[in-house]
Every structure is written in C-alpha cells, then in structure tokens.
Amino acid sequence: MSSPSRLDLASQYAELGYRVFPCVPGTKRPITPRGFHDASDDPSQMEQWWSQYPHANIGIPTEGLLVVDIDGVGNTWPGDPGRAADLATAGAIALTPRGGRHYVFRRPAGKAWRCSVGQLAAGVDVRTDGGYIVVAPSETESRTYGWVEGCDLSDPVERLPEPPAWLVDVLDTLAPESSTPTTNTAIFGDANPIPSGQRNATLARLAGGMRRFGMGQRELMAALRETNQTRCVPPLTEAEVERIAASIARYRPDEVSVAVAENHYQQMFAEVVEDDDPGLPDPGPIPDELLCVPGFITEVMQYTLDTAPYPEPVLAFAGALTLQALLAGRKVRDAMDNRTNLYVLSLANSGVGKDHARKINARILYEAGLADCLGTSFASGEGIEDRLFMQPATLFQVDEIDGLLLRVGQARDARHEAVVSMLLQMYSSASSIYVMRAKANQERVVIDQPCLCLFGTAVPKHFYESLSARLMTNGFLARLLILECRGRGVGRDDTERPIPNSILEAARFWADFRPGDSGNLADWHPTPLRVSQTDEASVVFREIRERADGEYVRSELENDPAGMAIWARAYEKARRLALLYAISACRENPLITPDAATWAGSFVEHQTRRMLYMARHHASESEFDGKRKRLLELLGQWQRQYGDEWMPFWRVNRRLPWSRREHEDVRDTLLQQRLIEAGQRTTGKRGRPGLYYRLTAVAAAEEGTR
C-alpha cells in the first residue's frame, strides 16, 4: 500500500482548518513569494502547488497557536517532571529531524505573545502569530518530521488545549503585551527563517544596528553566529559571517548612525549585502568507505594498488569501476532498464601515476581475450561511431580530457563539439539502438545497445579552468562521475606481481557470458540479464529519487541551471552504480540489495554535491569571467604567501600574459566590485613608480586568506 502523497496530507491539515503553504523540498524555506502569508486552505490552490512541486515540504502558520520548540536530543527543559508532564498534554507533539520536539497548544484569548528565540531557555523557542512550523512528513537534511504516536495534529485549533498555567505566566513575564520587545527580540526579530537571497542583507542590518550602540567585532560575531545558525536557511559559512562582522566593525558607531539618518545605509554596506548565494557546503574529498565495493571491483582495486609505484586509491577505484562496467556492458540491466555504461573522470596532478590503472585494465582485458574493447583517444565523433559499430562495447581510456572540455566550453571547435555530442548520444542509447550516419551507396545501419565506457583523467587545475556555464548545462558533465585524487602515494620498488586468478576468472566469465537465447546473434543483438532488486532496496531507491527530485526543485527555484542539470541525472547514476555493486559482489546470481542501493545513493550524493561546490568556485560564465577568477586566485596565492604585501603588476603579467587591454578590463571590473585594490607605488629611493595589486578585505575573506 503506497504512502499518502504530500498533497493528500496537506489537504488533511487544511480540512482541520489549518492553512498550509509549500516549502522547498529538504528545507524550511517557503516556495511562495510572501512565505507563510500566502498560506491557503483552498483545495485548488493546494493542488496547484503540490502538482508543480510534489515533494515540497508542508508549512503551517502558527497564527492562533502557541508552539514550544525545544531543540536537540539532549535538551531537558523544563527539567521539573511535573512541568514536563504538563507539556505532554499538548494537542499535538512532533519530533523534529534533529531530535527536538514541537508542543502545539491553542493560544489563549487576549494574549498577544510574539515569536522568540531562546527567551524561555537556551534552545527553547516560541512560535505564535507571525511565525510558522514545518510539519510531518516533511524532511530536512534527509530526515523526517513525525508526530509522536497518539499525539498527531488531528484536531482543529479550537479543540486544542491551552498551555499550562505556569507556562502562561512565564510567557507573560518575558513578553508582556504593553512592553517593547526585549534585546533578543530586537536582534533576532520574530525568529522566522531567513531565506537565501536575504541572509547577507539581514545579517548586515542586524550588525549595523548593534554597531550603532558601540558593539565590537567579537560581540557582532557572537550575535550573528547565533542568528545564522538558528534562522538562515541554509546557514552561511563561518567565514562569510566573519566577513560581515569584520566589514561592519570597520565603521565607527557615529558613521553608522549618520548612514541610517541620511538613508545611505545600503550604499555603505553594499559590499556585504550583495552576492548572497546558497553557500553550498564543501563535502570534501570522497571518503574511504565509498571506495569499497565487494567482490571484483575491490579485487582489481587492490591489485592496482599493490602493483603501483605510487599507490593512489581513487585512481585504482576509478579504473576498477570502469573495467567492471565494460565487462558487463550489454549483458545486464536493472528493473528500469539501466545499463552499466559509465563516464568516470579522475583528477590527479602529474606524477601521481594516472597511467597505472589504465595499464592494469589493458592487461586484464588482454588476458581475457578482450583487447579489442579498448580505445585510447577521441579522433572525431564519426570515429567513435565507427569504433562502436565494430565493437559495440568499448572502454575509452583517455588522458588530458580537459583539453576537449576547454574547447567545447569556448565553442571554438566544431570537431570537439561533435565528439561530445556523440558521447551524449551513445550514453543515452545504451538501452536502445543508435542509428548510424548515412554513407554513400550504403544503407543506414544501427548499433544495438551500444556500451561506451569512459575512464578519463585530467590535471585538476586544467580541468577546473576548462569549466564554463555552457559546459555545466549541456548535459555532458552531468553524466560524469568526477573523482578527485588525494595526491602522490609513497613510492616503492618491487611491485611486479601476476594478475590473481580470481580476477582473470571473473574477466573471462564476463567475456564468455551470453544471456538470453540469441544464438549466433548474441553479440549483435543481445538480451541482457535482468538483475532483480529486493523490496528493501526499492524503498532505498525511492528515498534517493525523492532527495534528488527535491534538490532539482530547489535548484529550479533558485534559478540554478547547473544544479538542475546535475541533480536531474543523480538518480539514474545511483541505479547504474547499484547494478555494478550487485554484479561485482556476485556475478553468478546478482541481486540489488539495500547495501548496494545505499552505497550507490551515498556515492552519488557526495559526488554531486562536491561537483556543484567546485563548479560554484571555478566555473566561469564567460571567457572574461574566467580571467577575472584567475586574477583573484593569483592574488589569493600571493596573499597566503606574503600577507598584506602588494603584488607588483610585472609579476601578475608574467603569470597572466594577457594583452594590455585585457588587463585593464579585468582590473577595472574587480575595482568596481571592490574585490581588489590597485595603485602606483615607488620602491627604493630612485625607483620608478609601478602598478601594484592586492585583494580587499572582502575578497580576502572569500578566498580564505584572512
């Protein structure tokens, strides 16, 4: 029996008289323009919202309610057992994703309490008129809101109990009707979430208000850190909050007061309030546990490490993964007809040993009689097509793939455009047929279920410099699994070892495996084995799909085409990886288990978030934007080495040999954006004046140099 949809559950709340509104999937941020003020109990409006965003979280305004929000598993407030029992009489009790609780009461008549943060006690907030809560079955951070058994919100507001008398007395004491807001309320407002797009501006206003009264940078930072963690959705990075506090603290209190009085407050703090972006967290390098796939993949990975002059786990894993993908190409599929064709790109600096994993793959395929399944370069789109016609399952092992991406990103080379176009077509044709181009005096022919696998390598710096907005959205990068290597391993001698028999047996098994009953046509028109999945694995897949769909919607709402393109492929990648996990673990009787699905989902989520984080910092909207970022990066490197010393222009020009006009255009843009300082300086007693650059405080904080 399927679970009720979000629309069904939102409608149930509305039938009880609670107005509802949609929030961005996976967050507490409203989708609607006016937030909870747009809440409605109109069935047609709700159907419109949740038809457009079926995985949207459900928000309910707390008008007429009193909700006590206790944060954290370890929060024991109110401490007294009798008072704790009183709270348990609430009309509804919810468990929040972080282990907190929501106690829902009806607000007594005549009370004009306000929302507050931490006034009742540390980690205890109040939601009433002017606020809202997110309710079950909404999710944040991949965890779910849920009602305590027997304490769900099943009564209309008029039938909910009022809060216990002692709580009423405390709330009256903290926020009497006739009084002005306390200091905490003045700072933290009504405690509603601050969405992306408003975070920098809101924190700057709060800091400016406190600076007017003489508060220093440490005090500003303490207050902003609390607001950021409790209200910003998602929170800004610690470095960004420090940047805001430092920028506001530069101004004297009287300067801030004059700015407010003369209405040029926003102008003064323009460098702080602009560029409020989602602040994607960095998931970091791929963790060791995600490089563990039982069976064949781990065996090949370990053999690659054992024989490498400089062992590198990520490269070894990437090679083993793509080898398994090729061996099972056109021979297995899952319940959704996903195949094993993968495009994997490993990033490693020169000298790390990028070629060793490729050599191991070549040796294994040779021993298995499959040497003709290897390709080493992309000459042209037509060349790829011809190669797949002769060998429908092919593993291309290509170094320096960043050069291809750079030319495509700059849209300067039709030949390279054709290569990427062909790779896209082959990827999508794996479960179908690919119709080849027409040739003179020949009938058009097809390739049935082509399996093109890619194991590419590139130098990280060159790869990131090749990124562009065009590349991020054309679909190719969205299909890649990008794995960053950790550095050069410890060198060693005497690494020659024979290929283990278990690896050769597995490779030969796949070479001889002919599923279905196609006879002599098995190689041309195969019937892949359908690998089943357990019911538990199906549940995991559904959760993966919902998370990916939610991230796609979030990207759509934030007008982030790169995020949309990459999250759109996340579920498909997870299905393919789970299939590879299953056949690696047991080739004779493969089964997709919850372990396979969970690993695949975790792997893809980490890889996707890392890709988006790196793209945010490196991808350029245009060639000019790329130059702008390169100059900022160079000045950041200089500052990390020399502190606040100015960088001579001649050094800049040596590293960035652009034309004079290009330097002037980039410099003028960064000066207008208040990201660099530039000026004429004279060195020595008789030195000639020269041009010097350095980062501003704002840019230095963004580059992580201060």
The pLDDT value recorded for residue 60 is 95
Q: At what angle do helices 296-306 and 354-367 cross, to 10 degrees?
A: 120
SS3 state at 144: strand
Q: Work out the mean pLDDT of the chain and round it to a whole number.
A: 83
287 vs 606: CA distance, rounded Å: 9
Return the structure tokens found at 29.
């941020």
The pLDDT value recorded for residue 407 is 65
Q: What is the DSSP letter of 72?
A: S
Tens of pLDDT along 542-558? 989 988 888 888 788 77
The pLDDT value recorded for residue 207 is 82
Share of the chain above pLDDT 90, in %: 40
523 vs 516: CA distance, rounded Å: 11
Backbone angles phi, psi at 121, to 5 degrees: -170, 170
Phi-psi region of 227 (alpha: psi -120 to 50; beta: other; left: phi over 0): alpha
120 vs 103: CA distance, rounded Å: 14
> What pLDDT band is residue 700 in, cutting at 50, 70 and 90?
low
The pLDDT value recorded for residue 143 is 83
Mean pLDDT within 307-315: 92
Mean pLDDT within 510-529: 79
Tens of pLDDT along 531-588? 999 999 999 999 899 888 888 887 887 778 888 889 999 999 999 999 999 999 999 9
* Residue 254: its H or E element: helix 253-261
132 vs 192: CA distance, rounded Å: 7
The pLDDT value recorded for residue 248 is 80
Mean pLDDT within 412-424: 78
SS3 state at 60: strand
In total, the chain counts a number of residues equal to 706
Tens of pLDDT along 483-503? 999 878 888 887 789 999 999
278 pLDDT more than 70: no
Q: Is the dihedral of CA 59, 62, 65, 70 positive or negative?
A: positive
93 pLDDT more than 90: yes
The pLDDT value recorded for residue 411 is 52
93 vs 79: CA distance, rounded Å: 18
In DSSP terms, 648 is beta-bridged to 692
307 pLDDT more than 90: yes
> What pLDDT band is residue 192 in, cutting at 50, 70 and 90?
low
The pLDDT value recorded for residue 701 is 55
Most confident of 29-43, 283-297, 683-697: 283-297
Asked if residues 583 and 567 have their Cβ atoms less than 8 Å apart, the reply is no
150 pLDDT more than 80: yes
Ranges assigned E (strand) in 485-607:
529-530
Range with lowest mean pLDDT among 211-215, 299-303, 473-477, 519-523: 519-523
380 vs 661: CA distance, rounded Å: 36
Amino acid found at 648:
P
> What pLDDT band is residue 346 in, cutting at 50, 70 and 90?
very high
Mean pLDDT within 306-326: 95
Q: At what angle do helices 313-327 and 501-512 cross, to 10 degrees?
A: 30
518 pLDDT more than 60: no
- For the question of whether the overall pTM of this predicted structure is more than 0.75, the answer is no
* Residue 22: its H or E element: strand 21-23
